[in-house]
Amino acid sequence: MRLVFIGPAGAGKGTQSERLVKYLGIPHLSTGDMLREARKQKTPLGEIADRYMLSGQLVPDPIILSLVGDRLDQPDCQAGALFDGFPRTIRQAKTLDDSLSERRTPLDLVIELQVSDESLKQRLAARGRPDDKPEIIAQRIESYRKQTQPLLDYYAERGILERVSGDGSADEVFARIKHLVTQRCSPKTAAGE
């Protein structure tokens, strides 16, 4: 099964993705985690990405697309994948569609995690990552509105978008997501059997 999580920073994509990949037995592809790792390793790509991440802006598409392309070529992605924080622009979404259709493994489901702005701000303030400062958060919310929200129409038109409320405890949110995923696909088929 191939799924995408879309939602603003602080919506709980990371937490819910970790639970869902365990449940479905598929790899977790978080572009944010990949970029943070590249930054930690001080690779040239990590150093370029750092500037964008620390100002709350999106890292340019070519960098992201090359990271994800390399990751998709690894054998564990044959079983499926959960994309967390990717795609974030229409160009990324179209490129993902092209690479998945070349592999004859299209996306099954896109889940939008919806959380009120007020809870987002509270959650981000509690998290304390270097890009969780108020002025950077404001820029990240802006990038989300301008560049990522148009993806919702793109996926809704294709009939694969589902919306889930991200309010409440992590257990409550996961129960909603699990319900949705099992309706669409059993974990057995999800693993690509």
| Site residues for ligand AMP per CB under 6 A | 9, 31-32, 35, 52-53, 56-59, 64, 85-86, 88, 92, 131, 140
Smallest distance from the beta carbon of 42 to ligand AMP, in angstroms? 16
Burial class (CB in 10 A: 0-12, 13-18, 19+), 109: buried
- Please report, for residues 5, 109, 111, 123, 159, the alpha-carbon distance to residue 156 in angstroms, rounded to integers and kept in the order given: 14, 10, 10, 28, 5
Smallest distance from the beta carbon of 92 to ligand AMP, in angstroms? 6
Report the candidate in 97, 83, 91, 103 with the shortest Cα–Cα distance to residue 58: 91
When the beta carbons of 76 and 142 are compared against ligand AMP, the nearer one is: 142
Question: Which residue minimizes CB distance to ligand AMP?
Answer: 32
When the beta carbons of 57 and 78 are compared against ligand AMP, the nearer one is: 57
d(CA 177, CA 113): 9
CB contact at 8 A, 173 and 113:
yes
Smallest distance from the beta carbon of 56 to ligand AMP, in angstroms? 6
Smallest distance from the beta carbon of 185 to ligand AMP, in angstroms? 24
When the beta carbons of 40 and 104 are compared against ligand AMP, the nearer one is: 40
When the beta carbons of 135 and 193 are compared against ligand AMP, the nearer one is: 135
When the beta carbons of 4 and 173 are compared against ligand AMP, the nearer one is: 4
Please name the amino acid found at residue 100: L
CB atoms inside a 10 Å sphere around CB 167: 14
Q: Going by C-beta distance under 8 Å and a sequence separation of 6 or more, which residues neighbour residue 125?
A: 132, 134
Smallest distance from the beta carbon of 183 to ligand AMP, in angstroms? 26
Smallest distance from the beta carbon of 159 to ligand AMP, in angstroms? 23
When the beta carbons of 2 and 140 are compared against ligand AMP, the nearer one is: 140
Backbone angles phi, psi at 5, to 5 degrees: -105, 125
